[in-house]
Amino acid sequence: MATPISATELRQLALNYLAETNPELKSSAVSSLALAWQQGTISLDRHAKLRASVTIPGHPAKPALIAPLLVKRRAMNTVQGRAALIHALAHIEFNAINLALDAIWRFSDMPEQYYADWLKVANEETYHFNLLKDHLHALGFHYGDFDAHNSLWEMVDKTKGDVLARMALVPRTMEARGLDALPALRAKLAQAGDLLAAEILDITLRDEVGHVLIGNYWFNFLCAQQGLAPLTAFEQLCRQYVAPKLRGPFNLEARRAAGFTEAELSRLEAVAAPAIKSSVNK
Protein backbone atom coordinates (compact mmCIF):
# COMPACT_ATOMS: atom_id res chain seq x y z
CA MET A 1 0.00 0.00 0.00
CA ALA A 2 1.24 3.50 -0.76
CA THR A 3 2.43 5.67 2.11
CA PRO A 4 -0.23 8.32 2.86
CA ILE A 5 0.83 11.92 2.42
CA SER A 6 -0.73 15.19 3.53
CA ALA A 7 -0.08 17.04 0.26
CA THR A 8 -2.94 18.86 -1.41
CA GLU A 9 -1.26 19.20 -4.80
CA LEU A 10 -2.75 17.34 -7.76
CA ARG A 11 0.34 15.83 -9.35
CA GLN A 12 1.84 14.61 -6.07
CA LEU A 13 -1.46 13.05 -5.10
CA ALA A 14 -1.72 11.38 -8.51
CA LEU A 15 1.68 9.81 -7.96
CA ASN A 16 0.70 8.65 -4.50
CA TYR A 17 -2.49 7.03 -5.72
CA LEU A 18 -0.69 5.46 -8.67
CA ALA A 19 1.41 3.57 -6.14
CA GLU A 20 -1.66 2.27 -4.26
CA THR A 21 -1.93 -1.51 -4.58
CA ASN A 22 -5.48 -2.01 -3.32
CA PRO A 23 -7.94 -1.60 -6.23
CA GLU A 24 -10.79 -0.43 -4.01
CA LEU A 25 -8.64 2.17 -2.24
CA LYS A 26 -7.14 3.33 -5.54
CA SER A 27 -10.50 3.81 -7.21
CA SER A 28 -11.97 5.53 -4.15
CA ALA A 29 -8.97 7.86 -3.92
CA VAL A 30 -9.22 8.81 -7.60
CA SER A 31 -12.92 9.62 -7.27
CA SER A 32 -12.19 11.80 -4.24
CA LEU A 33 -9.33 13.49 -6.07
CA ALA A 34 -11.55 14.36 -9.03
CA LEU A 35 -14.19 15.79 -6.69
CA ALA A 36 -11.60 17.83 -4.77
CA TRP A 37 -10.29 19.27 -8.05
CA GLN A 38 -13.80 20.26 -9.12
CA GLN A 39 -14.35 21.91 -5.75
CA GLY A 40 -11.05 23.80 -5.98
CA THR A 41 -9.64 22.40 -2.75
CA ILE A 42 -6.36 21.16 -4.25
CA SER A 43 -3.65 23.05 -6.09
CA LEU A 44 -1.58 22.33 -9.19
CA ASP A 45 2.17 22.78 -9.57
CA ARG A 46 2.76 22.40 -13.30
CA HIS A 47 6.50 22.91 -13.04
CA ALA A 48 7.47 20.53 -10.22
CA LYS A 49 9.93 17.81 -11.22
CA LEU A 50 8.57 14.87 -9.28
CA ARG A 51 10.30 11.57 -8.61
CA ALA A 52 8.72 8.27 -7.66
CA SER A 53 10.17 6.97 -4.38
CA VAL A 54 7.88 3.93 -4.37
CA THR A 55 7.14 1.16 -6.84
CA ILE A 56 4.75 2.18 -9.59
CA PRO A 57 2.22 1.26 -10.65
CA GLY A 58 0.73 -0.30 -7.57
CA HIS A 59 -0.75 -3.73 -8.32
CA PRO A 60 -2.54 -6.19 -6.04
CA ALA A 61 -1.03 -9.63 -5.52
CA LYS A 62 -3.63 -10.96 -7.94
CA PRO A 63 -4.25 -11.19 -10.85
CA ALA A 64 -1.05 -12.93 -11.86
CA LEU A 65 0.48 -11.16 -14.86
CA ILE A 66 1.49 -13.43 -17.73
CA ALA A 67 2.35 -13.08 -21.41
CA PRO A 68 -0.68 -12.14 -23.60
CA LEU A 69 -0.47 -15.37 -25.60
CA LEU A 70 -0.73 -17.42 -22.39
CA VAL A 71 -4.02 -15.87 -21.30
CA LYS A 72 -6.67 -18.57 -21.75
CA ARG A 73 -9.69 -17.93 -23.95
CA ARG A 74 -12.99 -19.29 -22.71
CA ALA A 75 -16.31 -19.90 -24.45
CA MET A 76 -19.08 -17.33 -24.00
CA ASN A 77 -21.68 -20.08 -23.44
CA THR A 78 -20.50 -20.59 -19.85
CA VAL A 79 -20.68 -18.24 -16.87
CA GLN A 80 -16.97 -18.78 -16.28
CA GLY A 81 -16.20 -17.88 -19.89
CA ARG A 82 -18.15 -14.63 -19.67
CA ALA A 83 -16.57 -13.88 -16.31
CA ALA A 84 -13.10 -14.35 -17.82
CA LEU A 85 -13.90 -11.76 -20.49
CA ILE A 86 -15.36 -9.33 -17.95
CA HIS A 87 -12.24 -9.85 -15.84
CA ALA A 88 -9.97 -9.06 -18.80
CA LEU A 89 -11.89 -5.86 -19.47
CA ALA A 90 -11.75 -4.89 -15.79
CA HIS A 91 -7.98 -5.37 -15.83
CA ILE A 92 -7.68 -3.10 -18.85
CA GLU A 93 -9.65 -0.44 -16.99
CA PHE A 94 -7.47 -0.87 -13.90
CA ASN A 95 -4.40 -0.28 -16.05
CA ALA A 96 -6.13 2.68 -17.68
CA ILE A 97 -6.59 4.29 -14.26
CA ASN A 98 -2.86 3.92 -13.73
CA LEU A 99 -1.90 5.31 -17.12
CA ALA A 100 -4.04 8.42 -16.57
CA LEU A 101 -2.49 9.01 -13.14
CA ASP A 102 0.96 8.52 -14.64
CA ALA A 103 0.24 11.10 -17.35
CA ILE A 104 -0.62 13.61 -14.60
CA TRP A 105 2.39 13.27 -12.32
CA ARG A 106 5.13 12.40 -14.77
CA PHE A 107 5.04 15.20 -17.32
CA SER A 108 5.67 18.74 -16.11
CA ASP A 109 5.23 22.12 -17.83
CA MET A 110 2.04 21.23 -19.67
CA PRO A 111 -1.00 23.56 -19.68
CA GLU A 112 -3.40 23.26 -16.75
CA GLN A 113 -6.07 21.79 -19.01
CA TYR A 114 -3.79 18.83 -19.77
CA TYR A 115 -3.82 17.79 -16.10
CA ALA A 116 -7.57 18.40 -15.78
CA ASP A 117 -8.18 16.26 -18.88
CA TRP A 118 -6.19 13.31 -17.58
CA LEU A 119 -7.83 13.54 -14.16
CA LYS A 120 -11.19 13.31 -15.95
CA VAL A 121 -9.91 10.22 -17.77
CA ALA A 122 -8.71 8.64 -14.52
CA ASN A 123 -12.09 9.24 -12.90
CA GLU A 124 -14.05 7.76 -15.81
CA GLU A 125 -11.74 4.73 -15.98
CA THR A 126 -12.43 4.25 -12.27
CA TYR A 127 -16.16 4.27 -13.01
CA HIS A 128 -15.70 1.65 -15.72
CA PHE A 129 -13.53 -0.51 -13.49
CA ASN A 130 -16.09 -0.46 -10.69
CA LEU A 131 -18.96 -1.32 -13.05
CA LEU A 132 -17.06 -4.33 -14.40
CA LYS A 133 -15.76 -5.38 -10.98
CA ASP A 134 -19.26 -5.30 -9.49
CA HIS A 135 -20.70 -7.24 -12.41
CA LEU A 136 -17.93 -9.80 -12.08
CA HIS A 137 -18.88 -10.18 -8.42
CA ALA A 138 -22.51 -10.69 -9.38
CA LEU A 139 -21.37 -13.59 -11.58
CA GLY A 140 -19.65 -15.18 -8.58
CA PHE A 141 -16.08 -14.05 -9.23
CA HIS A 142 -13.66 -11.35 -8.10
CA TYR A 143 -11.01 -9.20 -9.72
CA GLY A 144 -7.87 -11.29 -9.44
CA ASP A 145 -9.52 -14.67 -10.01
CA PHE A 146 -8.12 -14.97 -13.54
CA ASP A 147 -4.67 -14.37 -14.99
CA ALA A 148 -4.08 -11.15 -16.96
CA HIS A 149 -1.48 -9.50 -19.15
CA ASN A 150 0.15 -6.09 -18.87
CA SER A 151 0.77 -4.99 -22.46
CA LEU A 152 -0.95 -1.62 -22.01
CA TRP A 153 1.31 -0.63 -19.13
CA GLU A 154 4.38 -1.86 -20.99
CA MET A 155 3.85 0.89 -23.59
CA VAL A 156 3.23 3.40 -20.80
CA ASP A 157 6.62 2.47 -19.36
CA LYS A 158 8.38 2.62 -22.73
CA THR A 159 7.16 6.19 -23.31
CA LYS A 160 7.89 7.54 -19.84
CA GLY A 161 10.61 9.87 -21.10
CA ASP A 162 8.62 11.70 -23.79
CA VAL A 163 5.13 13.15 -23.46
CA LEU A 164 4.77 13.33 -27.26
CA ALA A 165 5.47 9.61 -27.57
CA ARG A 166 3.09 8.91 -24.68
CA MET A 167 0.22 10.77 -26.34
CA ALA A 168 0.96 9.15 -29.71
CA LEU A 169 1.32 5.56 -28.61
CA VAL A 170 -0.91 5.08 -25.58
CA PRO A 171 -4.26 6.89 -25.98
CA ARG A 172 -4.27 7.16 -29.77
CA THR A 173 -2.75 3.73 -30.43
CA MET A 174 -3.21 1.26 -27.57
CA GLU A 175 -6.48 2.69 -26.24
CA ALA A 176 -7.80 3.38 -29.73
CA ARG A 177 -7.65 -0.37 -30.32
CA GLY A 178 -10.49 -0.58 -27.82
CA LEU A 179 -12.66 1.53 -30.10
CA ASP A 180 -12.29 -1.19 -32.72
CA ALA A 181 -12.67 -4.16 -30.37
CA LEU A 182 -15.49 -3.12 -28.04
CA PRO A 183 -18.43 -3.42 -30.50
CA ALA A 184 -17.59 -7.05 -31.28
CA LEU A 185 -17.13 -7.89 -27.60
CA ARG A 186 -20.42 -6.20 -26.78
CA ALA A 187 -22.14 -8.31 -29.45
CA LYS A 188 -20.69 -11.52 -28.01
CA LEU A 189 -21.90 -10.71 -24.52
CA ALA A 190 -25.34 -9.66 -25.71
CA GLN A 191 -25.66 -12.83 -27.79
CA ALA A 192 -24.75 -14.85 -24.70
CA GLY A 193 -27.59 -13.13 -22.85
CA ASP A 194 -25.49 -10.86 -20.63
CA LEU A 195 -27.31 -7.63 -21.40
CA LEU A 196 -25.97 -5.81 -18.35
CA ALA A 197 -22.39 -6.42 -19.50
CA ALA A 198 -23.38 -5.17 -22.96
CA GLU A 199 -24.75 -1.97 -21.41
CA ILE A 200 -21.50 -1.49 -19.47
CA LEU A 201 -19.55 -1.75 -22.73
CA ASP A 202 -21.85 0.86 -24.29
CA ILE A 203 -20.84 3.24 -21.50
CA THR A 204 -17.19 2.29 -21.87
CA LEU A 205 -17.13 2.87 -25.63
CA ARG A 206 -18.85 6.24 -25.25
CA ASP A 207 -16.27 7.43 -22.75
CA GLU A 208 -13.28 5.87 -24.51
CA VAL A 209 -14.03 7.96 -27.60
CA GLY A 210 -13.51 10.99 -25.36
CA HIS A 211 -10.30 9.60 -23.90
CA VAL A 212 -8.78 8.98 -27.32
CA LEU A 213 -9.94 12.45 -28.35
CA ILE A 214 -7.97 13.89 -25.42
CA GLY A 215 -4.89 11.96 -26.53
CA ASN A 216 -5.33 13.20 -30.08
CA TYR A 217 -5.75 16.79 -28.92
CA TRP A 218 -2.57 16.82 -26.88
CA PHE A 219 -0.60 14.93 -29.53
CA ASN A 220 -1.54 17.55 -32.11
CA PHE A 221 -0.88 20.34 -29.60
CA LEU A 222 2.65 19.05 -29.00
CA CYS A 223 3.28 18.53 -32.72
CA ALA A 224 2.29 22.15 -33.39
CA GLN A 225 4.44 23.32 -30.48
CA GLN A 226 7.46 21.43 -31.85
CA GLY A 227 6.82 22.22 -35.52
CA LEU A 228 6.15 18.60 -36.47
CA ALA A 229 3.81 17.16 -39.10
CA PRO A 230 1.48 14.89 -37.06
CA LEU A 231 1.25 12.00 -39.51
CA THR A 232 4.99 11.89 -40.12
CA ALA A 233 5.75 12.25 -36.42
CA PHE A 234 3.34 9.47 -35.53
CA GLU A 235 4.82 7.01 -38.00
CA GLN A 236 8.34 7.82 -36.81
CA LEU A 237 7.34 7.25 -33.18
CA CYS A 238 5.69 3.94 -34.08
CA ARG A 239 8.99 2.77 -35.55
CA GLN A 240 11.13 4.18 -32.74
CA TYR A 241 9.10 2.57 -29.96
CA VAL A 242 8.16 -0.58 -31.89
CA ALA A 243 4.44 0.01 -31.54
CA PRO A 244 2.17 -2.98 -32.18
CA LYS A 245 0.98 -3.46 -35.75
CA LEU A 246 -2.70 -2.64 -35.99
CA ARG A 247 -5.14 -4.87 -37.83
CA GLY A 248 -8.65 -4.07 -38.95
CA PRO A 249 -11.50 -3.94 -39.13
CA PHE A 250 -11.45 -0.44 -37.69
CA ASN A 251 -14.31 1.40 -36.07
CA LEU A 252 -14.01 4.39 -38.40
CA GLU A 253 -17.04 6.17 -36.99
CA ALA A 254 -15.66 6.05 -33.44
CA ARG A 255 -12.16 6.98 -34.61
CA ARG A 256 -13.51 10.03 -36.45
CA ALA A 257 -15.41 11.07 -33.33
CA ALA A 258 -12.14 10.61 -31.39
CA GLY A 259 -10.33 13.13 -33.59
CA PHE A 260 -8.59 11.06 -36.25
CA THR A 261 -8.37 12.81 -39.62
CA GLU A 262 -9.36 11.23 -42.91
CA ALA A 263 -5.69 11.21 -43.93
CA GLU A 264 -4.80 9.26 -40.78
CA LEU A 265 -7.61 6.78 -41.29
CA SER A 266 -6.67 6.22 -44.92
CA ARG A 267 -3.07 5.62 -43.92
CA LEU A 268 -4.14 3.29 -41.12
CA GLU A 269 -6.21 1.16 -43.47
CA ALA A 270 -3.45 1.12 -46.09
CA VAL A 271 -0.82 -0.04 -43.60
CA ALA A 272 -3.13 -2.66 -42.07
CA ALA A 273 -4.39 -3.97 -45.42
CA PRO A 274 -1.37 -6.23 -46.13
CA ALA A 275 -1.72 -7.85 -42.70
CA ILE A 276 -5.43 -8.44 -43.27
CA LYS A 277 -4.84 -9.90 -46.73
CA SER A 278 -2.07 -12.17 -45.42
CA SER A 279 -4.36 -13.43 -42.66
CA VAL A 280 -7.18 -14.16 -45.11
CA ASN A 281 -4.86 -16.08 -47.44
CA LYS A 282 -3.59 -18.44 -44.72
What torsion do the CA atoms of 89, 91, 96, 98 make, to the nearest 10 degrees? 170
The pLDDT, as a whole number, for residue 75 is 81
Residue 69 burial class via C-beta count within 10 angstroms: exposed 0-12, middle 13-18, buried 19 and up = exposed
The pLDDT, as a whole number, for residue 65 is 87
CATH assignment of 62-281? 1.20.1260
* Residue 277 pLDDT grade (very low, low, confident, very high; cuts 50, 70, 90): very low
Spatial contact of 21 and 2, defined as CB atoms under 8 Å apart: yes
The pLDDT, as a whole number, for residue 142 is 96
What is the greatest pairwise CA distance in the chain? 60
Q: Is the pLDDT score of 10 beyond 50? A: yes
Mean pLDDT of 269-278: 60
As a whole-number percent, the residues of the chain with pLDDT over 70 amount to: 94
Spatial contact of 84 and 72, defined as CB atoms under 8 Å apart: yes
> Domain boundaries in the chain?
62-281
The pLDDT, as a whole number, for residue 127 is 98
Model pTM score = 0.92
d(CA 150, CA 28): 22
pLDDT tens-place string over residues 235-253 = 999 999 999 888 889 999 9
d(CA 220, CA 231): 10
* Residue 5 pLDDT grade (very low, low, confident, very high; cuts 50, 70, 90): very low
Mean pLDDT of 44-63: 92
**Which of 106, 127, 125, 128 has the alpha carbon at shortest distance from 115?**
106
Mean pLDDT of 9-37: 96
